Amino acid sequence: MTNVLKISSHDELISSIPHTLGFTPVSSMVCLALGDGPTARLDIPESPEEIGEFLQALTDVYLHRHHPDRVALVAYGEDGRACVQALAALGEALVNSEVRGPDVGPMLWVNGEEWTDVLEGTHGTVDPGARTRIDAEFALMGRVMPVGRREDLAAAMQGDPTAVAEHLPAAEARALDMDVAARRSEVGWLGARLDQFRRDREYLSDGDAARVLAVLHDSSARDAAVLSMSREDAPVFSEFWQDLVRRAPREVRDSPATMLALSSFLEGKGAQAWTALDQLSESDPLADLVVAALEQAVDPREWDRAVPAAAGALMQQAALRDTVAQERRAHDQDARNAPGVNGAGPESSAPGR
């Protein structure tokens, strides 16, 4: 571990939150897990009915699925009463649960630049110098500056599909005409193209974008794209898929949006993953898996471990099938070469075959 800079004040903690989430939260509860586990953001509940769902969702994350040492709670909003009520209810639910929960603290209400430490009864204004320092540190780490609001994530997925649309009919016609060998070759091309993007970050030409969109309907192509991703390089692939989502005509936009949801999940960016899923026009099996992973608060490192295992199992199955097929061919060959019963030659057909 090198150059780990510390967060030494509430000002710095508050200044780091937009960088952590990727956007500045509004009317939100932000739970920062210390030690282990994810950071979570959820809207501040506006009614007693919503409080139940709010508590259930967040206690599920921090009491059942993850086990951080401590959770810092930061409630954002103008409505101080709603924020403090949400802080108190969540703090109590985490501390007084039947199962051992994390320590809780600090508990902050943030309204604009003003903060209140609900447990300590202290107040303050976020120091602009602290904000500048934290911004600079994240920039030095090569991080993208956060967008203004969560809604801006969706706006960043909108683009102009006109140029790719011109190439799409020919690309789809070409894909439809492919035989098995050609399709396998096309899947290989997709894998190579993804590898190339990982190296050079050069976005696809309009023609190649249409070609990718046409082949993505093939499940083996999607599998190849899924297998190409890991948590480590997911940010690069999120750039790739987001670019395609922006440029894809509506009728073929679901596939890259699904891949963007997966890469965003692998990156650990839940809001971006949900936003990508919101772009879908109909259900999709892979998208359903990403939804399940998000809802079950699956750590993307688990997915990282599952994909090679899944791929390995499939390869083992394939190898087993090959072995059986080879044995069957050898058996058939032996049967053909063996002297037939009653002098029958290899051409004779044995009963039961």
Partner 1 sequence: MQNTRSRLEKRLALLLAATPPLAARHTAGHTKVDLVYLDEETQDRLNSSPRE
Contacts to partner 1 from residues 109-148, by CB under 8 A? 117, 119-120, 141
> Is 238 one of the binding residues for partner 1 (CB under 8 A)?
no
Residues within window 170-229 making contact with partner 1, judged by CB under 8 A? 217, 219-220, 222-223, 226-227
- Element at 114 (helix H, strand E): strand 114-117
CB-nearer residue toward partner 1: 39 or 242: 39
Quick check: 233 binds partner 1 (CB under 8 A)? no
Pick one of 155, 292, 319, 324: the residue that binds partner 1 (CB under 8 A).
292
| β pairing state of 114-117 and 103-111 | antiparallel
Quote the least distance from Cβ 167 to partner 1, whole Å.
Answer: 18
Contact stretch for partner 1 (CB under 8 A) within 10-18, 85-93, 194-202, 322-330: 10-18
Does the protein bind partner 1 through residue 295 (CB under 8 A)? yes
Query: Of 18, 41, 87, 238, which one interacts with partner 1 (CB under 8 A)?
Result: 41
In terms of Cα–Cα distance, which of 206, 186, 93 is closest to 85? 93
Structure tokens at 181: 């060998």
143 touches 156 (CB < 8 A): no
Please report whether residue 34 would count as binding partner 1 according to CB under 8 A: yes
Size of the site for partner 1 (CB under 8 A): 81
Asked if 22 contacts 54 with a C-beta cutoff of 8 angstroms, the reply is: no
In whole angstroms, the minimum distance from the beta carbon of 206 to partner 1 comes to: 21
Q: How far is the CB of 353 from partner 1 (least distance, A)?
A: 30
Closest CA relative to residue 302, chosen from 90, 37, 74, 20: 37
- Pairing mode of beta strands 122-125, 114-117: antiparallel
Residue 209: HSE in the Cβ half-sphere, 13 Å Cα cutoff: 26
CA–centroid distance for 282 within its chain: 18
Q: How far is the CB of 208 from partner 1 (least distance, A)?
A: 20
In the complex with partner 1, which residue's Cβ is closer, 141 or 325?
141
Which range, of 194-202, 241-249, 291-299, 345-353, touches partner 1 by CB under 8 A? 291-299
Cα-based torsion angle of the residue sequence 109, 112, 114, 116 in order, rounded to the nearest 10 degrees: 0
Q: Considering beta carbons, is residue 41 or 167 the nearer one to partner 1?
A: 41
Among 51, 72, 212, 248, binds partner 1 (CB under 8 A): 72
* Residue 148 backbone phi and psi in degrees, to 5: -65, -50
* Nearest of 212, 215, 269 to residue 245 by alpha carbon: 212
State how beta strands 103-111 and 70-76 pair.
parallel
Q: What is the number of residues in the chain?
A: 353
Which range, of 12-20, 77-85, 190-198, 338-346, touches partner 1 by CB under 8 A?
Answer: 12-20
Binding mask 42-71 for partner 1 (x = CB under 8 A): x----------xx-xxxxxx--xx----x-
Using CB under 8 A, which of 48, 285, 343, 352 touches partner 1? Answer: 285
Q: Kindly tell me which residue out of 26, 89, 298, 335 binds partner 1, with binding defined by CB under 8 A.
A: 298
Q: What are the residues whose beta carbons fall under 8 Å from the beta carbon of 24, sequence distance 6 or more?
A: 17, 18, 146, 148, 149
Measured from the CB atom, the residue of 23 and 240 that comes closer to partner 1 is 23
Judge contact between 287 and 277, C-beta under 8 A.
yes
User: Per-residue string for binding with partner 1, 244-273, x by CB under 8 A?
Assistant: -----------x------------xxxx--
Asked if 307 is part of the footprint of partner 1 (rule: CB under 8 A), the reply reads yes
Per the omega criterion (within 30 degrees of 0), is the bond before 106 cis?
yes
What does the block give as tokens for 226? 């899924």
